[in-house]
Structure 1
Amino acid sequence: MAKWDNMLSVLWMLRYGRKLTAAQIADNLEISVRTVYRYIDALCASGVPIVSESGHDGGIHILESFKETPLFFDAVELKALVDASKFAESAGYPYTDELKIALKKVEVGLHEEQRHNLYRQTSGLDVISPVRSSFTIPLLRDLEEAANKGQTVRIAYRKANAEQADEREVNPYGLVYNRNHWYTIAHCQRSKAMRTFRVDRIERLEMTESHFEKPEFFSASEYFRDESEGGLEADGPLTVIRIVGESDILNTICGHWHLRHYVTERNDREITFLLDVQTMNKYLPKYLIAFGTAIHIREPQELRLQLQEMAYRIAKHYEDNPNCT
């Protein structure tokens, strides 16, 4: 048996709680007593609180406080766990509190030098978390539970720019996190089709008594990716869009989660897209106006006029309401 297998066996024997002599451990693993003591020393050096007591009732045992502690993380693995927790918290991961408790349990099993080293290695990385509504966390928990149990939920969902939410019953298949937002992929019973719902637009959620069976091997992330990247066969005519600007600005536009799939040509000064007219009219003016004078639309003229009209309305708004509060 390999050294680490033997060390792990020693540890599991001690975790049962009773005291064992080095001879008992050696006989059980068919190794020498000297090797047992060498393993004990190595385990102690890694932070495992093993106590050796002499005398008639003596023996080797492990402290009770260590029995819930995760084992055998090296310095880089510990750093990875702590760093990953920062990203999870930033994403609004619904079990952040439980994750922090788990990390505390890990830290309890470390000796002082290991704790100091862990702090030193992780203090150089921080993740700035966006402001999020605390209401999202119970929604994420409920949606995940519903997906795991195959339980239908009733939601009040408000679409973008809608004045009020509407109710529908959906079968949640899974959760996806993308570009600072959580989504649930669900089968909508009203439309009798798969739909993607942004979780922060769910105003109310309640469990129902109905149950469903999720398709075998369904992947929420694959569905989301296919919808984002595969929804490129839009109805209606296509139009060529040419945008001029500095290279870093064009990189930003090309990196847009949706537009990147429509790029047909690109150089340091210009991008060319082939996009359906409906999508262009609905989304592009609002997105491109944020770049102000840093870009120039060469074509189509229709898009140029839409940006011009939008800029005019904004300027007129502030001209007519100079002291609006």
Structure 2
Amino acid sequence: MAKWDNMLSMLWMLRGGRKLTAAQIADQLEISVRTVYRYIDALGASGVPVVAESGHDGGIRILDGFKETPLFFNALELKALLDAYKFAQGAGYPYASELESALKKVESGLEEDQRHELSGRTGGLDVIAPARPPSVVASLRDLEQAAEAGRTVRIAYRKANAEQIDEREIDPYGLAYDRGEWYAVAYCRRSLETRTFRVDRIEKLEPTEARFEKPVRFSASDYFRDQSEQARDADGPLTLIRIEGDPDALNALCGHWHLRHYLTERTDRDARFQLDAPTMIKHLPTYLMTFGTRIRIKEPLALKRSVRELALRIAAHYDEGPD
């Protein structure tokens, strides 16, 4: 076990007023008694009031009143935290600056050998962030605060390819990061429906005096999944769909806004979905044709036949002779 893992284990062993001898700690952690005393010195330097008392009733303990437990991370845990910050920053996470500040506090409490090891492990991963309007971060913060406070906001929203800005009042229920974009799931007071709004298309946002109550246990991710379920053509038994293909094609297939909700298993060679037969036959053949020979449908037979028939109709369409 690494040094910092051992120190954390030792700290947990001593919490709650327990008193242990150096030999007992050494035996449980499978280290030497000499190492135990080195850890005592290191914990003391980190602000933990740990003492070693000699004599018949002596032992190692933490002084009463100690409330705060210092954080000890191994190198991979620290790397994971810093890499998570890179992803958050790349996604446009609205509290990335606060996250960076928190990480600096963690780093400031590290020992020199931890900082040195960490610097050697964090240079191999970068997140290339898409270009976003600077207003997105501010809008995300305002929307989240409005959702928490139950306050209606007025937005100026520009739909895709629309020339005019559309103003409306919405009750923001929550935010979701999906396919590289931020979305607000909100109740639109004009259409009287719950809808999604891409945050980067909100050109202006201001609070109103109106209030609302968010649905109990609302989840933006559940809303997206429910919308996908509503796109199905039938309830009832689900059909297993198994498709082989190259990794890039499978990545695109599994990332499809609708199909990804029905993905049950994915390997480097194939992907498996479960979808009702009517929806499968109605929507999948045309979409799967766009992958050409980069994928192969293994099952069900009905889907293979539908794609084959579609391909034959397309071939016949272009085989009617010269124009």
TM-score normalised by length of structure 2: 0.62
- Counterpart of 1:74, as a letter, is F
CA distance in 2, matches of 1:188, 1:121: 47
- CA, structure 1 residues 260+100, in 2 after alignment: closer, same or farther (shift >3 Å)? closer
- Counterpart of 1:4, as a letter, is L
Cα root mean square deviation, aligned: 4.5
- Give me the identity figure in percent: 51
Aligned residue in 2 for 1:157: 157
1:186 to 2:186 alignment: yes
- CA, structure 1 residues 116+260, in 2 after alignment: closer, same or farther (shift >3 Å)? closer
- CA, structure 1 residues 132+220, in 2 after alignment: closer, same or farther (shift >3 Å)? same
Contact 1:147 1:173 (C-alpha < 8 Å) held by counterparts: yes
Aligned residue in 2 for 1:254: 253
CA distance in 1, matches of 2:132, 2:289: 26
Contact 1:150 1:171 (C-alpha < 8 Å) held by counterparts: yes
Aligned residue in 1 for 2:115: 115
Aligned residue in 1 for 2:43: 43
SS for the counterpart of 2:121 is helix
CA distance in 2, matches of 1:74, 1:83: 14
TM-fit CA distance, 1:170: 0.8
Deviation per CA, 1:65-86: give whole Å up to 9, x if none. Answer: xxxx982232132222111111
Aligned residue in 2 for 1:85: 85
Q: Greater shift after overlay, 159-168 or 180-189?
A: 159-168
TM-score normalised by length of structure 1: 0.61
Contact 1:184 1:199 (C-alpha < 8 Å) held by counterparts: yes
SS for the counterpart of 2:160 is coil
CA distance in 1, matches of 2:161, 2:281: 21
CA distance in 1, matches of 2:101, 2:142: 21
Aligned residue in 2 for 1:98: 98
SS for the counterpart of 1:133 is coil
- Unaligned segments of structure 1, at least 5 residues: 10-28, 53-68, 236-244, 309-325
- Counterpart of 2:208, as a letter, is T
After TM superposition, the structure 1 = structure 2 runs for residues 264-279 of structure 1, keeping only pairs within 5 Å, are none
CA distance in 2, matches of 1:123, 1:279: 44
TM-fit CA distance, 1:288: 8.0
1:135 to 2:142 alignment: no
CA distance in 2, matches of 1:248, 1:5: 45
- Unaligned segments of structure 2, at least 5 residues: 1-8, 26-35, 52-67, 235-243, 264-268, 271-276, 296-306, 319-323
SS for the counterpart of 1:121 is coil
Contact 1:262 1:274 (C-alpha < 8 Å) held by counterparts: no
TM-fit CA distance, 1:44: 4.5
Aligned residue in 2 for 1:4: 11
Aligned length: 250
Aligned residue in 2 for 1:172: 172
TM-fit CA distance, 1:4: 2.5
TM-fit CA distance, 1:37: 7.1
CA distance in 1, matches of 2:279, 2:20: 74
CA distance in 1, matches of 2:78, 2:261: 38
SS for the counterpart of 2:120 is helix
SS for the counterpart of 2:70 is coil
Contact 2:246 2:294 (C-alpha < 8 Å) held by counterparts: no
Aligned residue in 2 for 1:72: 71
- Counterpart of 1:162, as a letter, is A
Contact 1:173 1:187 (C-alpha < 8 Å) held by counterparts: yes
TM-fit CA distance, 1:276: 9.4
CA distance in 2, matches of 1:205, 1:259: 33
Deviation per CA, 1:78-118: give whole Å up to 9, x if none. Answer: 22211111111111101111111111111111121110111
Aligned residue in 2 for 1:59: none
Deviation per CA, 1:44-83: give whole Å up to 9, x if none. Answer: 47x559899xxxxxxxxxxxxxxxx982232132222111
CA distance in 2, matches of 1:84, 1:249: 24
Q: Greater shift after overlay, 86-95 or 31-40?
A: 31-40
Aligned residue in 2 for 1:233: 232
CA distance in 1, matches of 2:92, 2:18: 50
